[in-house]
Amino acid sequence: MKKKTSRQTLLIPAMLDAHFPLMKYAFLSKEYYPVVLGQGLEVLPTGLRYTNNDMCWPLAMMTGQMIDALRSGKYDPARTKLLMPSVGDACRGSNYTELLRKSVKNAGFPQTRVLTMNLKHIDQENQLPITPVMVWRALFALFYGDILMLLVQQVRPYEKRKGDTERLRDRWFAALGEDLLKCRNFSLNDMVRRFRRITASFAKIPRNDVKKQRIAVVGELYTKYCSDGNWNIVKFLEDSGCESFTNGLSWYVIYYIDAQLVKLPEAAALGYRAVGRILEKLQKSMIKALTDDGFYSLPPLHTLKAEAQGIVSTLGSVGDGWLIGSEAAGYMHHGCPKVLAVQPFGCMPNHVFGRGIYSSVARKCGGQIVSIDIDSSGTPLNAYNRARMLIDS
């Protein structure tokens, strides 16, 4: 993906390890060249210097990434924009855009504009334009990222030759990225066929015939899908002899439509319901491709929701809301009784809709849930010790 000099740079914070290698193509346009920032905890001191420690962990990390990138000299601050997506609800994450603007200005970059992207028409004058090509590329990146993530975490702990799984994943990233760049193999039927080709390729990787205990990971979006966000807890679990399992992002997207967007005015709600049905149909095709080749998956979102009735209230729709408890219950219903819940310290939606019901969910479903708070004042060792408690119990 080559940058044209007429384009401005669009810096995107690292948030979704398995999806952004493909999702970045959704933001490529005549106006913008997207750059997903690299990872590393070394950005935290910068983030804490320009954000209040009472705000949550993801903001400190992403602010540090953005400001360190602007200071690096790689980007012209006058021709660079920063993207901070938002869900637009009562979660503190909906304030990130305005807080980042203040931080960037205080860091000496008042000329660098901060853009938002949300579906609730908030801060419209700074909204990144959403085009049909962007949406279509994002749809493919969503499901391709999901299926690759679900396969990698089930094959890598068992591979006979170290590195085979990640090498195959990277080859798929390259091939699928080229397709997204050139808008080819771009029909939904193409996507479904690709699901089968991808799962078949991972099924051929030679694996050791041993059974490791599976530890499921649930929680807030950033701490769930970003290795920096959870202190690389997945690597710790695998190094400890376990198989880690984090559910796909498409479950969150369909949850968000179900929990929030269908509450919009009737015309918009009808449109989002139709989109939700298409997404769930694709999700079912992806799950079928996985299970046909012997891989594990949670059921589709609405099946997961139905199975959690009487265990998890679906009234809580702020942040990750009822999805957290529903996924935890779903794992226990489907052969994975040990669940690790990760969230930023002080994340109220996760404390109310997650931690507040963990003991009840575990008791009703016959499993175990251990909760880990991630915070700038904490240490990875504390998180690993709590994970170890779950592994050894």
Q: Are residues 221 and 95 in the same domain?
A: no
pTM of the shown model: 0.95
Are 279 and 250 spatial neighbours (Cβ–Cβ below 8 Å)?
Answer: yes
pLDDT beneath 50: ranges in the chain: none
| d(C-alpha 242, C-alpha 237), whole Å | 5
216, β-bridge pairs: 245, 339
157 inside domain: no
Residue 164's φ and ψ, nearest 5 degrees, are -60, -45
Within a 10 A sphere around the Cβ of 81, how many other Cβ atoms?
Answer: 18
pLDDT value, residue 215: 98
Residue 363, domain CATH = 3.40.50.11900
329 inside domain: yes
Given 130, 163, 179, which residue is the final one in a domain?
130
| d(C-alpha 160, C-alpha 37), whole Å | 32
What's the token pair of residue 348?
């109220």
193 inside domain: no
Q: What range defines the domain where residue 233 resides?
A: 212-247+298-393
DSSP letter (8 states) at residue 240? T
70 inside domain: yes
pLDDT value, residue 1: 66
266 inside domain: no
DSSP letter (8 states) at residue 353? I
161 inside domain: no
Residue 18, domain CATH = 3.40.50
Given 78, 99, 130, which residue is the final one in a domain?
130
Given 85, 111, 130, which residue is the final one in a domain?
130
Are 43 and 18 spatial neighbours (Cβ–Cβ below 8 Å)?
Answer: no
| d(C-alpha 349, C-alpha 29), whole Å | 35
Are 159 and 207 spatial neighbours (Cβ–Cβ below 8 Å)?
Answer: yes
pLDDT value, residue 2: 61
Instruction: Provide the number of structural domains found in the chain.
Output: 2
pLDDT value, residue 86: 82
79 inside domain: yes
Q: Are residues 347 and 222 in the same domain?
A: yes
281 inside domain: no
Are 11 and 80 spatial neighbours (Cβ–Cβ below 8 Å)?
Answer: yes
Q: Are residues 357 and 227 in the same domain?
A: yes
